[in-house]
Chains A and B, each alone.
Chain A
Amino acid sequence: MPGRRLPVAMRRSLEGLRVILKYPSGTVGLIVMVLFVLLALLAPVIAPYGPFEVAYGVERSVIRLAPPTARNWLGTTNQGMDVLSQLLWGSRVALVVGLLSALGSVLLGTLVGLCSGYFGGWVDEVLMRLTDVAFGIPFLPFAMVVVSIAKPGLALVIVLVIFFLWRTTARVIRSQVLSLKTRPFVWAARAAGAGHGKILFRHIAPNVLPISFLYIAIGVQTGVMLEAALSFLGFGDPQVLSWGIMLNAAFQAGAMRTAWWWVLPPGLALSALVISVFMITRAYEEMLNPRLRAI
Chain B
Amino acid sequence: MTGFRRYVGRRLVLLAFVVWCVLTIMFGLFQLLPGDPTAIFVDSNFSVEMIERQRQLWGLSDPVWVQYLRYVRNMLLLDFGSSFFQIAPVSHIMAEKVKNTCLMIVPALIVSVVLGTAIGAVAGWRRGGRFEQATVGTALFLHSAPSFFVGIMALMVFSYRLGWLPPGGMVSLGGPDGLWDMVSSRDYWVHLLLPGLILVSREITGPILLLRSSMLEVKGSDFLDILRAKGLRERRIVMHATRNALLPLVTYIAVMTGLLFQGQVLLEIIFAWPGIGRELVQALNDLDYPVAQAALFVMALVTLTLNFAADLLYGVIDPRVTYE
A residues within 8 Å of B by Cβ?
Answer: 129, 132-133, 135-142, 144-146, 148-150, 221, 225, 228-229, 232-235, 247, 251, 256-257, 260, 263, 267-268, 270-271, 274-275, 278, 282, 291, 294-295
Contact = CB atoms under 8 A, between A and B. Distances in A.
Given A129-B14, A137-B300, A140-B261, A149 B141 contact: no
Contacts of B145: 271, 274-275
Given A132-B18, A149-B33, 7 more contacts: A129-B14, A133-B22, A138-B262, A140-B261, A141-B299, A228-B148, A229-B148
Nearest to B160: A257
Interface in B289-318: 292-293, 295-296, 299-300, 303-304, 307
Interface stretch (B67-75, B109-117, B230-238, B276-284): B276-284
A135 B307 contact: yes
A136 B128 contact: no
A129 B17 CA distance: 9
B160 A141 contact: no
26 contacts: A132-B18, A135-B307, A136-B22, A136-B307, A140-B262, A140-B265, A140-B266, A144-B265, A144-B280, A144-B281, A145-B29, A145-B292, A148-B284, A149-B30, A225-B146, A233-B265, A247-B149, A256-B156, A257-B160, A260-B156, A267-B153, A270-B146, A271-B149, A274-B146, A275-B141, A294-B132
A247 B284 CA distance: 20
Residue in A135, A141, A142, A295 with the greatest tally of chain B CB atoms within 10 Å? A141
Nearest to A145: B296
Contacts, number: 117
B144 A275 contact: yes
B81 to A, nearest CB: 16
Contacts of A132: 14, 17-18
A37 B141 CA distance: 22
Nearest to B156: A256
Contacts of A146: 29
A140 B269 CA distance: 13
B42 interface: no
A102 to B, nearest CB: 15
Contacts of A139: 262
B6 interface: no
Interface in B98-142: 127-128, 132-133, 140-141
A140 B259 CA distance: 10
A42 B149 CA distance: 26
